[in-house]
């Protein structure tokens, strides 16, 4: 576990910009490990009830548009009868607005394998000039028959989408992930191989990997799960991975918590690194992003990270959370953090 006193001193010095007041040189920030909350968090708040987003939003997916603008997709809910996907855009000051002011992907007809969808992950397909979205789909409320889907946009704005006839992956009953899958994160590596990391639960709980050479046909990795929970640790259950290739290595950010999962369970974000995207080494200090201070908007949970590397090499992390005071009243609120 992180040495708490040292952590508090370093973070307070960093946040207030007073690290040099002690006469000592500032401690260099570790990319992807040390995070600073941006001004204005949370960036997206619920709409008035009744409305399509009055329950808040979670599962953020960050991406840079071909024009250079910053876009964000998220799961939200309200008066639609279930989760929907909405899109937001940001100005240069990282102020976000829902644009368009309505869901971009709604609830499908009854009987569809992905009638309800959640946890989007976005990637720009340069060769086809369209967006690719990975997501959790399920046939009915209660996560009935969960599977991982992939759909493509019909426009460069990521507003028009066509649902696929079939998922790219459905777990086998009795397998390590045979009970539940969720939280896919798609990334194409420098070797040209597509990878989708996802949460699985069955005979164990962990993070699985699907790979594809053409981005269309997918196969589970033979070593699945490639990242497992640690019983008795702060991350004895893991959720919602985000994997990026940064500075020559693979980086994994994930949600972790101590079981059982209850309304008041604290959730934090951990980090691991890998040379091959399969064998991972956890950060030895535990969570790299924890819930906020008591009374803050996210003093109970911060989870479902998505990370974007910007043109200057710095990282921007989106996640969502909520407070103890908001238990049972919201899906969550989305915030942003920076790592230099």
pLDDT digits (tens, 9 = 90+) for 9-64: 233 233 333 333 334 444 456 889 999 999 999 998 899 999 999 999 999 999 99
What pLDDT was estimated at residue 19? 33
In sequence order, what are the residues at sequence separation of 6 or more whose Cβ sits closer than 8 angstroms to the Cβ of residue 25?
A: none
pLDDT one-digit tens code per residue, 167-201: 999 999 999 999 999 999 999 999 999 999 999 99
Residue 161 has pLDDT above 80, yes or no: yes
Retrieve residue 61's tokens: 């997916």
Q: Is residue 287 situated within a structural domain? A: yes
What pLDDT was estimated at residue 14? 33
What pLDDT was estimated at residue 45? 84
pTM attached to this predicted model: 0.91
The Cβ-side half-sphere exposure at 232, using a 13 Å CA radius, reads 0
Q: Is residue 30 situated within a structural domain? A: no
What pLDDT was estimated at residue 143? 97
Cα-Cα-Cα-Cα dihedral sign, residues 329, 45, 302, 136:
positive
CATH code of the domain in which 74 resides: 2.115.10.20
Retrieve residue 189's tokens: 């590596």
In sequence order, what are the residues at sequence separation of 6 or more whose Cβ sits closer than 8 angstroms to the Cβ of residue 138?
A: 113, 114, 115, 116, 144, 145, 146, 147
Rounded to 5°, the CA angle 224-229-234 comes to 160
Q: Is residue 298 situated within a structural domain? A: yes
Q: Is residue 180 situated within a structural domain? A: yes
Q: Is residue 39 situated within a structural domain? A: no
Mean pLDDT, the chain, integer: 91
Residue 284 has pLDDT above 80, yes or no: yes
pLDDT one-digit tens code per residue, 127-152: 878 999 999 999 999 999 999 999 99
d(CA 182, CA 74): 14
pLDDT one-digit tens code per residue, 234-281: 999 999 999 999 999 999 999 999 999 999 999 999 999 999 999 999
Reduce the DSSP state of residue 20 to 3 states and report it: helix
Per the structure, the count of domains in the chain is: 1
Domain of residue 302: give its range: 46-339
Q: Is residue 18 situated within a structural domain? A: no
Q: Is residue 1 situated within a structural domain? A: no
């Amino acid at each position: 576990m992180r040495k708490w006193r040292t952590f508090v001193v370093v973070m307070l010095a960093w946040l207030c910009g007073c690290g040099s007041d002690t006469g000592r040189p500032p401690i260099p920030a570790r990319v992807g490990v040390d995070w600073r909350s941006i001004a204005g968090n949370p960036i997206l708040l619920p709409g008035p009830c009744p409305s399509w987003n009055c329950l808040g939003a979670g599962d953020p997916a960050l991406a840079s548009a071909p024009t250079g603008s910053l876009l964000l997709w998220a799961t939200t809910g309200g008066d639609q009868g279930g989760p929907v996907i909405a899109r937001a855009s940001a100005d240069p000051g990282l102020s976000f607005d829902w644009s368009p002011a309505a869901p971009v992907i709604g609830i499908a007809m009854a009987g569809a394998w992905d009638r309800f969808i959640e946890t989007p992950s976005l990637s720009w397909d340069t060769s086809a000039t369209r967006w690719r979205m990975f997501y959790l789909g399920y046939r009915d409320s209660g996560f009935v028959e969960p599977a991982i889907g992939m759909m493509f946009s019909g426009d460069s704005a990521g507003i028009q989408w066509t649902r696929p006839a079939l998922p790219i992956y459905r777990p086998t009953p009795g397998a390590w992930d045979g009970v539940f899958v969720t939280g896919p994160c798609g990334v194409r590596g420098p070797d040209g191989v597509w990878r989708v990391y996802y949460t699985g639960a069955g005979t164990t709980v962990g993070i699985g990997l699907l790979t594809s050479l053409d981005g269309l046909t997918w196969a589970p990795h033979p070593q699945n799960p490639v990242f497992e929970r640690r019983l008795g640790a702060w991350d004895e259950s893991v959720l919602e991975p985000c994997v990026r290739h940064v500075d020559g290595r693979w980086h994994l950010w994930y949600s972790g918590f101590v079981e059982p999962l209850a309304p008041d369970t604290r959730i934090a974000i951990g980090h691991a690194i890998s040379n091959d995207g399969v064998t991972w080494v956890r950060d030895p200090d535990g969570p790299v992003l924890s819930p906020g201070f008591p009374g803050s908007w996210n003093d109970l949970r911060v989870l479902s990270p998505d990370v974007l590397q910007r043109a200057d090499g710095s990282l921007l992390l989106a996640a969502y959370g909520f407070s103890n005071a908001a238990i049972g009243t919201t899906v969550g609120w989305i915030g942003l953090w920076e790592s230099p």
